[in-house]
Amino acid sequence: MTEGHNPGASMFGGDMPTEDLLPVELPIFPLAGVLLLPGATVPLNIFEPRYLNMVEEALGKGRIVGMVQPKAADVESPDGEPAVYETGCAGRIISFSETGDGRFAITLLGICRFRIASELSLKSGYRRVSPDYSPFADDLGDDASYVPHRESLLTTVEAYFLANGIDADWSTIEGAADSALITTLSILCPFAPSEKQALLECENTAMRGELLGNLMALSLHGDTANHGVRH
């Protein structure tokens, strides 16, 4: 059994830290299929001892940890740990609670993506990296990106949700700002880890929205090929 998360995303309000206030040594939490994006929240269930240590220590040092995805299970880094993708997202712990069975329930708010410049030695069993935030400095500002062909995308989203049995509040979806819409859909949709990684690495919201629509269309095309057109 591994740590997990409850799917969900919401946009945030309030001041964001500047790049020079982000940690130069960042603990990382590798978890496949979990996507954290700037401005979104992701709940996590922590129970493995080394990650309990990570959360306890992060709470006293700025409350920031990095979410990364591991690569294929049989790919290892030079130190024998599972290899991880080079790009992740730093998040601040904005809620924390202890359960009666020794677990931590936390919520991370995405702050800024990073590239791993180098991996540091283990600390209390968990992994740490030297992060490079500079390629993603725009994450720290307001995201007012415009997503072209929004109506076409929503049509694809509706078909994708229907094909995958996903319930949705369409009034909320239709009323969401472009950045909130794309961020939430990217996190919620059941894409493969490699597809989640591609969404994370998109340069901006507009490009992420385009990729999101393409991934949904490809899924629908495959489903149609296998099962016939739905009416």
Which residue, of 140, 169, 186, is where some domain finishes? 140
Whether residue 91 is contained in a domain is answered as: yes
Last residue of a domain, one of 113, 140, 167: 140
**Helix residue ranges, H only, 39-107:** 49-59
Q: What is the pLDDT of residue 81?
A: 81
For residues 32 and 136, state if they share a domain.
yes
Domains contained in the chain, number: 2
The verdict on residue 196 lying in a domain is: yes
24 and 51 share one domain: yes
CA distance linking residue 12 with residue 199, whole number of Å: 20
Q: What is the pLDDT of residue 93?
A: 98
Query: 32: Cβ–Cβ under 8 A, 6 or more apart, which residues?
Result: 69, 70, 193
166 and 134 in a common domain: no
Which residues have a Cβ under 8 Å from the Cβ of 146 and sit 6 or more positions away? 178, 206
Domain extent for 111:
4-140
Mean pLDDT score, 211-217: 96
Ranges of beta strands (E only) in 47-86 are 64-68
SS3 34: coil
Per-residue model confidence (pLDDT) at position 221: 86
Residue, of 16 and 155, whose pLDDT is higher: 155
Q: Are residues 197 and 114 in the same domain?
A: no
* Residues 96-132 pLDDT 10s: 999 889 999 999 999 999 999 999 999 999 999 999 9
How is residue 170 written in tokens? Answer: 């369409």
Q: Is residue 129 part of a domain?
A: yes
